[in-house]
Amino acid sequence: MTSIESKIKALLDRRGLAAWEKDLDGLMSVFAPEVVYFDLVPPLRYTGAEALRERFRDWFGRWRGPIGQQISELEVLANDHVAAAHMLVRASGTLLDGREVDYWVRVSDTCRRSSDGWLITHEHVSMPVDLTTRSVVMDLRP
């Protein structure tokens, strides 16, 4: 792993730790102010840090405890200024209603180097859909 790839992995690990701790400021610190975020839930996109902050505030409020974000199969392609990464992320934890959650999502990130280090400028989170039933497939495992 190159030095830049290690820095991107560290950025993603910080994102995962902030989700685990439900640390809103810590989570926002890995995203650029102009971030464009494609999430599992509507709307089609969240644009800008304030919109994303509100999305994450709502997300944190739906969980009873920590939110697991285990990264698997991380691939990073980078140069000195930009990086692209894709991975599988295992989401886990307990929702407010007591339901246990354990499913995998697909995540792609675009990052850029700033004076503050590496920041995520775009994140896309998705799950496969069975087009015949129009339902999300949540039981796939890597």
pLDDT tens digits along 42-92: 999 999 999 999 999 999 999 999 999 999 999 999 999 999 999 999 999
Q: What is the pLDDT of residues 13-34, one digit of tens each?
A: 999 999 999 999 999 999 999 9
Burial environment of residue 98 by CB neighbours within 10 A (0 to 12, 13 to 18, 19 or more)? exposed
Q: What integer is the mean pLDDT of 85-110?
A: 98
Ranges of H-type helices in the chain: 3-21, 24-28, 49-60
CB atoms < 10 A from the CB of 5, how many? 16
Read off the pLDDT of each residue in 106-129 and give the average, rounded to a whole number: 96
Residue 37 scores a pLDDT above 90: yes
Structure tokens at 132: 């015949």
pTM: 0.95
Domains defined for the chain, CATH in brackets: 3-136 (3.10.450.50)
